[in-house]
Structure 1
Amino acid sequence: MRQEWSPEELLASWTLVEGDWKLVANKTGATRLGFCLMLKFLEIEARFPEFVEEFPQPAVEYVAGLVKVPAAEPARPLRHGDRRRLWPCHYLPAPHRRR
């Protein structure tokens, strides 16, 4: 995913719409921000990110402002530069998780 986004592009691609807000209503903190970033990343790229560094920093900051969570939150527990894989199932509601 590209890392440079203009304000207009952020607004058009990373803004949460009504259905998105329904999906994140029961989430808080890092989970809420991470879920929103995964959701929008999936819409834009048609895949889930493998690493936390794939999220464009301008998008992280923009979405963090929307959901009122500090922008540093999606990196927890994954530290920036750690390169451990992100697993989408950690952000899905419980009925969708594999057992």
Structure 2
Amino acid sequence: MLNRGAAAVRRVDAWTDSKGQMHPSKDKAIAAELTIALGGTGAADGMAPGLVGLLLEKRETILPLLTEYGAPEAAEPDVPAYQRQCERVIP
């Protein structure tokens, strides 16, 4: 039963991650998104939350390294070794 003294609907300011979970701050939403990217979905998912904390803490050191590393390259299709050798010999 609804409490008639309290509003049933109220406005909230929050951030959401890609799974639709609400977070009270942008930082917590970003941390949740990084946890998702690392394969975790919550605080009990192994090492992902701890790793996210380290990544965020050390981001000033990590971001320049990632920039220097460059963008991911498109994966080459798997070609059998004998075919690669033939392509080198026969243009």
With the length of structure 1 as denominator, give the TM-score of the two structures: 0.24
- Structure possessing the higher radius of gyration over alpha carbons: 2
Instruction: Name the structure with the higher helix share.
Output: 1
